[in-house]
Structure formats: structure tokens, C-alpha cells
Structure 1
């Protein structure tokens, strides 16, 4: 599979690799309880954000199950990172890729997640050779469900109480799309 030519650009956004200069921007949203609750893990510390960004410095070759590409979502008209997009190769053999997004709450409701996810999904199909993309999300994450639907993804599954987050059972939806189904 061919690598993605980075950065990816849209009308309003630039999707690029993270750098060490992005630690504070990542921590500004990854350190929030309201963001972490849908990720089934505690909020990240600033130190953990630095470690995570260091791990993104060299993207995987996109050849083996679990390889991923994590891109910083930046507005084209102002500096700083407002969120991230993740593409993870779930099955190299079946060319299945998982897509996910996280946005700083201050930037939600403006279509940025949809715009960024649309660009990343198109790159997964066009450059990385994905046959199918899917997203797993907490059923209470209505914003992400709307993003999936705006992209043209269909809800394929509702997993009831399939994950335990501390004392809380979480349920998930799985949305998916093939290349010809994606709204570009």
C-alpha cells in the first residue's frame, strides 16, 4: 500500500504529523475528563501526551495489523492543534481500517470532525488501499454518531455493555463504509 502524501488539506483544515511542539495543544483536550470518557481510559497527563507524540514521530509502514497513522488536526487559518484523527490497520489481509477522531470541545459543532474524518477516510481508501473502514464509538457519544452518519457510514452493530470502564458498563456502536459508500 502506498503511503499517504502529507499533509492532507481541506478547505479549512490541515492534517499533519504531530511534533514535539504540539504537546500543550494535545494536553489541552486529552487531559479533559469529558474527552477521556468516550475513550475508555483516564485523561492523559502532559507527560503522557509527550510520550504519545514521541511514539507518533515515525508512522508505521501500514503493512501489519495494528499499524496506525495519527494526524494532528489544525485549522488552516490559525496555529495550533485542535484535535486528532487516527487510522489503524485492523486487518492487513482483509484491508480493514479503523478510523477515530478526538477534538477539543471548544471546536466541536463546527463540522471540523466531519471534514477531517472525510479527508482521512478518503486517504485510507485512495492511498492506503483500504477496502472498508469502520468506527467504534460509545453509544452516548452522539456527536461522533452524527459524524459517522454525515460521512455515509452505516451502523452495523450495537454492542451492549461490552466494555467495563471502572464501575460503568459501556455500550458501543460500530459504523462502517466501503469506498463507494463514502460521501466525499
Structure 2
């Protein structure tokens, strides 16, 4: 009988050498660094996508599937919009700031988009809009352009950034919970990546 004297094969964990878990939100100076680079490069679509991603606080799947009519009426862009989230099947409302409205309007005009079209069409014929994978590559290019490690950032970065900035400025967990459309405080805590005890203390202090 043959005997096996070689070293046993040890499976390599799928996440070896990778950063997993929460992706870091962008700081204010990083937001402006990316925004200015996109403006100088004349990347009209990317600037609109970036600004809307920050403002809307939407998951990637909800952001890329937006239609023009979701945020516009005629040639006017709503200062506030309501979108039904795919994951939670709950509506979420978000503000669209003036600079975002301007960048989105420029993109719609340049791309000659009709009201019933996807706001960010895919260049792949079979897909009506950007895929989440395409969006992830775009985000990686954005953060890489200002010298950040794209392994530490991703589409969840765009999802978390504005809410995190609001929380850091106000410490008002309840306000962030409402903005995100979360039914449970625990969801907001996980979203922001803060400690549960800290969150409960803040919630008690800001309770009306």
C-alpha cells in the first residue's frame, strides 16, 4: 500500500489579504478632491453619478436603476425625491442639493435622456443601466484618483458618506435613522459602524 508523506493541502481563505467588512466613508476634503477632478476632466456623467450617490445615500442597486422621471418633472429636477428601496421595499426620501441638480441636469442634456430612460444607461446593449459591478469599478477609479486605497473603499462608501458626515456633525442618531428610512436603531448603528452603547446613549439624549 502506498503511503502519503507529503504536506497536507491547506485551503486558502477566500478573504486572505483582502479588507472585508465596512468600507470607509469619504471625508469632506476627499469628496471635494474627487468632485474637482471630475469637473476638470469634463466627466459629466461621473460628476452627476458621484454627486447623486453622495446626496441620495442609496445602495448601489437602487442608484444605478434610477430613471430620469424618478428625480425630474419636465426639465426641473426635484429638490427632494422619494425612491422605493429594493432590499427593504420601503420608500426613502432624500435631498438633491443645488450642485447635484446642476450636474445631473447637464448630464441629462448631454446624453439626450428621455423621462422614461435610465438615468445612467449602460454602454452594454443588453443592459438598460449601469450594473453594480460597473458602478463598483467607477467608484474604485474615483478613490484611486486621489491616492486612496480602493481596497478600503467601495460602493458602500458612497452609501454611507453623507449620513456619516451628518452624524459626526450632529450626533443625532434619530435624525440619521429617519434619513436612511431604517425601522430599527440597530440597522443605523451597523450602517454607521458605531458602538451600540454609544448609540443608545446618544438616542436617549436626543429623544423628543
TM-score (norm 1): 0.32
Higher-RCO chain (CA-CA 8 Å, sequence separation at least 6): 2
TM-score by length of 2: 0.29
Would you tell me which structure has more helix in proportion to its own residues?
2
- Structure 1 or 2, whichever has the larger Rg, is 2
Q: Which has the higher strand share?
A: 1
